[in-house]
Homo-oligomer: A and B are copies of this chain.
Amino acid sequence: MDNKGVNAVKKENFSEWYTQVIQKADLIDYSEVSGCLIFKPGSYSIWENIQSYLDGKFKKDGVKNAYFPLLIPEHLFKKEAEHVQGFAPEVAWVTHAGNTKLNERLAIRPTSETIMYDSYAKWIRSWKDLPLRYNQWCNVIRWEFKHPVPFLRTREFLWQEGHSVFATKKEADKEAIRILNFYADCYEKILAVPVLKGIKSKNEKFAGADYSLSVETLLPNGKAIQGATSHNLGQNFSKAFGIKFLDISEKNDYGWQNSWGFSTRSIGIMIAIHGDDKGIILPPNVVLNKVVVVPILFTKDKKEIVNVANSIVKKLKKFNPLLDDRDDYSAGWKFNEWEMKGIPLRIEIGPKDLASKQVVFVRRDNNEKINVKIKDIGKEVPKVLNEIQENLFLKAKKFLEGSIQKVQDISELKKVVNDNGIGKANWCGSPSCEENVKDKTGAKSLNSEFNSKAEGKCFACNAKAEYVTYFGKSY
């Protein structure tokens, strides 16, 4: 593996820095198919931790896991007009099996509304079958023609997609927010990434939804990015697919639906936000190996140092510590490597430490060195890991909040986004106004706050303001 340090500076050339740190941390590799990424164990284990967190939340909330086919017949895929328009340009089509040409083309799922709802229509007959709430963890393909960026924009990605049907709009509305809160918690508590929760504009909502909720955040390059979405589909799909049920008063109605997804894009956002010029920084809650123990191996006391290092590793088992006792690399080389890989806490032990019955903790997030008595390691490690998790979040929060500025007109927004910030404005919400803002500033709406009351007139068009909305350049 390449142990030369990262040579791009995050503040000066974010794109180059991002590409370098991800490869040097051994998280991914490229395949021959542009935009189709290999998730190496370093990044896949992060995804497993995210899965474990979210899956637990969903199951506790009553959602059940299922699995629907990868391939969607073209006629099903085309059933909901707005949806097909949104996704068709990015669909990968299967046309042949072996040497046989298929009678109908099959779409590789870019998302599974159309294949799932065809079945839902068969399964749902009465209010007793509702709510029906299924989730699947799977791969999807969206053949974007823009330049791929690892995790952030890839043609194949991993995600979960939840698809619910309720008897009433009210239940669907409530679930949409509940799920959005799970997503926000996953970002904030696990990935240590602060997010803005809100509702997407008409222009930016999901193709086929009544409305979309999202969590958004800001990358260090001044581009805002959508972290995850929770869509209220109203009765659009249930009408297209015939998801009807007999309600409790024996009347026929169409189901009220939601869909919601969280993807491996989240890994890229986390890396972009926390990393520094030495490499990536992984929050303790998301990384498998939270600690690396590095014995400093001089000839003197070597055997004893290795023994103590081993006993520390044993004691810290639940943090899945790594032990780097390789003989053929210098201590400096090792420090460099584990910093590039973002391990939150390094524990060094050398002959001097041994003499004073202590070790040195080195925090990845702020480089702080702390002398810790060997006997106190068991209680100090979880304490320090918590501090690292919290510090990463607070630092990121300070950055996000410091980047948001209230704007009163288009020229103020333009200035804010030119300075890589996010503008916050009273806004009318109209699609044509959004187009105009975009033309003049390059910024799109990110989302609008749920509970803030808009005041006065729209910052851009002087119509009545309806929303308090975030605007920014976006990914």
Contacts and interface: CB of A to CB of B under 8 A. Distances in A.
Contact of A94 (B32, B48, B94, B122): B94
A122 B105 CA distance: 35
A98 B66 contact: no
B93 A95 contact: yes
A69 interface: yes
A119 interface: yes
A134 interface: yes
A99 interface: yes
The oligomer's copy count stands at: 2
A66 B28 CA distance: 10
Interface centre among A36, A73, A99 (most CB of B within 10 A): A36
Interface string A89-102: 11111111111000
Interface string A145-175: 1000000000010100000000000000000
A208 to B, nearest CB: 18
A41 B66 contact: yes
A240 to B, nearest CB: 15
A188 interface: no
A94 B97 contact: no
Interface residues of A, number: 52
Contacts of A48: 65
A461 B88 CA distance: 60
Nearest to A29: B119
Contact of A66 (B36, B40, B139, B145): B40
A65 B38 contact: no
A71 B138 contact: no
Interface string A126-147: 0000000010001101010100
Given A39-B67, A139-B139, 14 more contacts: A31-B119, A33-B71, A33-B73, A36-B70, A39-B68, A41-B64, A44-B66, A47-B67, A70-B108, A70-B139, A71-B156, A98-B143, A108-B108, A138-B139
